[in-house]
Structure formats: C-alpha cells, structure tokens
Amino acid sequence: MKILILYFEPSVMKMLEACLTAEGYSVTSTADASEAIKAIEDTSDSYLLIADNFHLSPGAQQAFTTLHNRPDLRNRVKIVGVSAMSQGAYEWIADNRIDDHLTMPFSLDHLLDVVRAHVGLPPD
C-alpha cells in the first residue's frame, strides 16, 4: 500500500512526509486534489490517503466526491482525515466516510500507530 498525503498547509505536509519517510515508508505528497486523484487513477495500487479537512478547496471536496462515486477507486483507498476536532470536523468525517482520523496536535507515535493499522510496518 502506498501513502499519499493531500495537505494544503505546506509545513504540515512536509512534516508528515518527513516523519513517515524517516520510518521507511514510501510517501508522495501534494496540495493539489486533482493530482491526488490522478495518482490513484494511474495505477492499480492501494493507497492510504492522509488528508487535511479544514483547508478543503472546492477541488479537494471534488476529490472526495470522485472517490466516493467511483467504487473502483474508493475500494483501493483508505482515508485518514487530519483536523482539530470541532462540530465541522465530525460532520466532515461522517460525510466523507473517513476510515480513520488524527486529531491535531498528535504525536509521532500516534501518527505511526494509525499508519501501521492500515499499511503495516514499512518494508525492510
């Protein structure tokens, strides 16, 4: 399973990518929702999509709509939402059928626990 980060805050996206890469995972990241969907469409691989929810642009919301309307894609993608918890976050999780969630701030250990639950340990 590949890890794809869709995050609109560059510093957080780089931190997530650096932490997961340092642990041995292969990670791709983008702030462009269209790029994220294209990456999933272009392969038959499974993905763990780690996605920000509070900075969702209309394009990012379209990415989630695309995933949910295309079972051929959604069946290959597990989604981990990242947010501070608020009423809006709970609604976003329910509306987008998120598989897991990271509440900010979160520890590196918690990030790794969530990733390992869906991906397993990184390859040797």
Residue 97: is its pLDDT beyond 80?
no
pLDDT above 90: residue 115: yes
Q: At what angle do helices 108-119 and 10-22 cross, to 10 degrees?
A: 70
Question: In terms of pLDDT, which residue wins out, 86 or 98?
Answer: 98
Reduced to 3 states (helix: H, G, I; strand: E, B; else coil), residue 90 is helix
* Overall number of domains in the chain: 1
Residue with tokens 């990518």: 17
Domain-located, residue 85: yes
How confident is the model at residue 81, as a pLDDT? 84
The residue segments making up the domain with residue 15 are 2-119
* Mean per-residue pLDDT, 99-113: 91
Per residue in 31-77, pLDDT (tens digit) is 888 899 999 999 999 999 998 875 555 666 777 788 889 999 999 99
CATH number of the domain encompassing residue 22: 3.40.50.2300
Cα 71 vs. chain centroid, distance in angstroms?
17
For residue 66 the two structure tokens come to: 């695309």
Q: What is the mean pLDDT of the chain?
A: 86
Evaluate whether residue 75 is within a structural domain: yes
Give pTM, 2 decimals.
Answer: 0.87
37 lies in some domain: yes
Q: Which residues touch 113 (CB under 8 Å, ≥6 apart)?
A: none
- Whether residue 124 lies inside any domain: the answer is no
